[in-house]
Every structure is written in structure tokens, then in C-alpha cells.
A and B are shown apart, each in its own frame.
Chain A
Amino acid sequence: MPTPPSDPGLLILISLAAGPKHGHAMMLDITDFGGVRLGPGTLYGAITRLEAGGLIAPMAGSGRRRPYRLTRAGRTHLGKRLSALDQSVQTGLARVTAR
């Protein structure tokens, strides 16, 4: 299972969970909370897949910027992914501290 810092799709979903954002705002937010700087190709590759999967949706934007929002399906998907990750993290931490 991919860990959050290496999964651009998950990072984008986490970023959009705080509210709609356009590409550059997502990039800055992800660098802020994830410590990862996504390249422009990686960012838009992930946006393409997430939109195709119905997890995010474009909104009407101003000028050439197009903000994206998390869909209901995207929020559910994000919740499930984070719960699964949390379970793995808790198990891992428990095993590490037990030794």
C-alpha cells in the first residue's frame, strides 16, 4: 500500500478535503503539510485520474485557473484510505514499541 508522501492522488484528496483549490494552491498546500513537492506533470497526471474516477470535480474558475473540489465519492474514498493507513500505522507502531 502506498504511503501518503509518495501517493500524489491521496495527497491531492487530503488537500482538497480542506476546500476547493486550483493547481498551484494544491501544490503549495501539499508541500506545506506533506513536505513533498509534486512536479507539474505528476500533479496533473493525478488530477486527470482522480477526475476520471469521479473523486474530484472541476469548478468554474476565474481566468485560466480552474479550481477542483472533492466529490462525495472522493470524500468517502479518502476516509477509507486514511482509515486503512491509520490501521497499518497503529499496528506498525505497536509492533515497534513492543520490541
Chain B
Amino acid sequence: MRRLLLAAARRFAAAYPARWRRRYGEELDELIVEMRLHPRDLFDLARWAIRTHVAPEERGRDAMTDRQFTWISRGLGLASLVVAAPAALFVVLSVLRYNFGVVDESQVWWLEHSSAALTMLGYLGAPVIALGLALLGMGRVSYRREGGALMVTARVRPSRLTLLAAAVSLFLIAVILGYGITENL
């Protein structure tokens, strides 16, 4: 009976996430070998194996604290808005020029070249980089070393600033792409 219980307990212990097992697997195995197992321990192991898979907080400590993540996320959100700013200026000036005739081509020399495909790609580059920065700011990637192995976890945690930066970048990409396509038709 004990051998059966031990074999079953080991099966349930093997169902824990690989990362968790690398840290606690040997200790847990030693415990179930040493202790007097009851059938209810199998249920206990199964319940906690599922819980460890489902709840990230049960998996262990993250390398990045909440405070660090907040500052990194803010920095990336701000960087995204700064990178997107020239493209936003370009879009605003283009709108003013084409719809209201407010800005004269001679005043803004680079508007003359805006219809060229290469220039459009250049204008598109900034919002794409800005979008990348905003998306990076939304992802919480944590890592730590355990027993020589590098553990990496990733979660999506958008803030208001990173959402705003992503929305601005997407809007600019849509406008510049739409403008380029219309110009080339």
C-alpha cells in the first residue's frame, strides 16, 4: 500500500510546473519518502500542483519588484511618446497643410519629400519603434537563477501611460500608412 501511495504521490509531484520542481522538487520528494503518506495527501498534492500552475504568486519570487516594474514601465511609456513626437508633428503639419492650407511647403522643407516611399518608411519607423517601446513597457518579464538554471516569466501589465503611448503609436502608423497608400494610388 505504501509503495502504491508513494508512486502516486510522485506522479502528482511531477505535475507541478517545471520551474517550481527545479527549486523544490527534490525537497518535496524527500518529504514524501520520509513521511507517512495518507490517501488524502494525494488530493493535497494534486490540488497544490494545479494551484501552482494557475496562480503565479505560488511560483516564487520575481527578480523585479513592483516598484522597479512601475518605473521601468513609466520610462518606456515616456520614451515611446518622445520617439513618436516627431512623427506626430509631421502628421499634424500634414493635416494643417492639406486640409486647411495653414502650413506652406516652403516653410517645412521635408514635407516636399513626404510622398516618396522611402521617406514614408522613415516616418513610419518612429511610430513602429514607439509602439515597440510601449509594448515592452506593458510586459513584465522577470528572471532569476535557480540551481544554475535561468528562470524567465512574462506577464502583461499595461498602465495608463503605456496604453496611451501604444494608442498614439498605432494611430500614427494608421495615418501614415493610409496617407502613403492614398499618395501612391
Which A residues lie at the B interface, using CB under 8 A? 22-24, 27, 39-45, 47-49, 51-52, 54, 63-66
Q: List 23 A-B contacts (CB under 8 A).
A: A23-B27, A24-B31, A24-B34, A27-B31, A39-B44, A40-B9, A40-B13, A40-B28, A40-B35, A41-B44, A42-B44, A43-B31, A44-B27, A44-B48, A45-B51, A45-B52, A45-B58, A48-B52, A48-B58, A48-B59, A52-B61, A64-B29, A66-B27
With beta carbons under 8 angstroms apart, the residue of B30, B40, B51, B59 that contacts A39 is B40
Q: Which residues of A contact B30 (CB under 8 A)?
A: 22-24, 63-65
Name B90-140 residues within 8 Å CB distance of A: none
Is B81 engaged at the interface, CB distance under 8 Å to the other chain? Answer: no
Interface size class for chain B?
A: 20 to 34
CA distance A49 to B20 in the complex (A): 12
Known: A48-B20, A48-B60, A52-B60. 10 other contacts (CB 8 A): A22-B27, A39-B44, A40-B9, A40-B32, A43-B31, A45-B52, A45-B58, A47-B24, A64-B27, A66-B26
The B30-69 residues at the A interface (CB cut-off 8 A) are 30-32, 34-35, 40-41, 43-49, 51-52, 57-61
A21 CB → nearest B CB, Å = 12
